[in-house]
Amino acid sequence: MQNWRCMHPFLAFAWAFALSVTVAANAQNGKQPPCFEILTHRMDVDVDGAPNAYGPPGKQTLDILLDAHYLNRADKEIVGYLIDEHNRPILQGTKDPFPGYYISQTAFTDIENQNEWDPRRYVDARNINYVVRGDVARRRGVRVGDFVSVYSKRTRKGVFAIVGDTGNPTGDEGSLHLLQDLGYPFHDGKNDSVEKPEIVIRFYPNSNPKHQFFFTQAELDEAATKLGLSRDFSAAPRTNR
């Protein structure tokens, strides 16, 4: 189910093109930048980008290896961590956050860091609120790195986030930190998920044209606030428990 309160559908792409020019002015005059909202069907926990997301058998990880495959299917390609030309996982080195673990990747990266084998290049799901871009958002001009606001109808909390990853056509995934920030008592990506349609994502297309990268949620929140974005969903009805 989708909610298009922020923008009429046929204007989406035109607004996405213009947003990079107008968003700064909107922030100054208090206007809400162009956006649209989607009510997700569910919200699974994504731990990609966390340096302890995946590792060899026996390691304490945030997720199982099957979930690193596209659509969580063993016959699909591995998208959750880096592999070499022989399809072998690339391990973190002694100077990395979790030596011996796999290097988990995200679609959004730090463009200032060109070392693909550096785990710090990717959005850490433990520390940053991010959502996974689905097909609907992609078709409406949303880019990886764009800002979003996310709201839980159950917990009545709204937070800022970014589009940090791709790979799920439904878009029904969010980082571990995002779900925790929304008030869900989740700990990893193995079994935790929001199973009801109670998470609303407000997308701001083309709102991060310079691909600003964030290492802390406080930095992300500050940047979103300066752009005049809103995490107020006071008009959203409460979802029954």
Q: How distant, in Å, are the alpha carbons of 131, 163, 166, 180, 204 from that of 173?
A: 6, 11, 9, 13, 17
Q: Which two tokens stand for residue 99?
A: 């030596």
Q: What percent of the chain has pLDDT over 70?
A: 84
Q: How distant, in Å, are the alpha carbons of 78, 164, 180 from that of 211?
A: 25, 11, 25
pLDDT digits (tens, 9 = 90+) for 151-172: 999 999 999 999 999 999 999 9
Ordered DSSP codes for 166-197: ---TT--EEEHHHHHHTT-----SSS-EE-SS
pLDDT digits (tens, 9 = 90+) for 76-121: 999 999 999 999 999 999 999 999 999 999 999 999 999 999 999 9
Q: Which two tokens stand for residue 112?
A: 């200032």
The burial of 238, by beta-carbon neighbours within 10 Å (0-12 exposed, 13-18 middle, 19 or more buried), is given as: exposed
Question: If you ran DSSP here, which 8-state letter would residue 160 be given?
Answer: E
Please tell me the distance from the alpha carbon of residue 132 to that of residue 124, in angstroms, as a whole number.
13
Please tell me the distance from the alpha carbon of residue 196 to that of residue 193, in angstroms, as a whole number.
9
The CB-side HSE value for 133 (13 A sphere, CA atoms) comes to 23
Q: Are 37 and 7 in contact (CB under 8 A)?
A: no
Nearest residue to 137 (alpha-carbon basis) of 108, 172, 107, 161: 172
Q: Which position has the token pair 């700990």?
A: 187
pLDDT digits (tens, 9 = 90+) for 43-53: 999 999 999 99
pLDDT of residue 236: 60
Per mean pLDDT, which range of 7-16, 127-136, 176-185, 202-211 is the poorest?
7-16
pLDDT of residue 33: 82
Q: For residues 177, 155, 174 and 132, what is the CA-based torsion angle, rounded to 10 degrees?
A: -140
Is a pLDDT exceeding 90 seen at residue 32? Answer: no
* Res. 235 pLDDT band, cuts 50 70 90: confident
Is a pLDDT exceeding 60 seen at residue 14? Answer: no
Reduced to 3 states (helix: H, G, I; strand: E, B; else coil), residue 16 is helix
pLDDT of residue 238: 53
Is a pLDDT exceeding 60 seen at residue 23? Answer: no
| pTM of the predicted model as reported, rounded to 2 decimal places | 0.86
Is a pLDDT exceeding 70 seen at residue 6? Answer: no
Is a pLDDT exceeding 50 seen at residue 10? Answer: no
pLDDT of residue 17: 43
Is a pLDDT exceeding 50 seen at residue 18? Answer: no
Is a pLDDT exceeding 50 seen at residue 178? Answer: yes
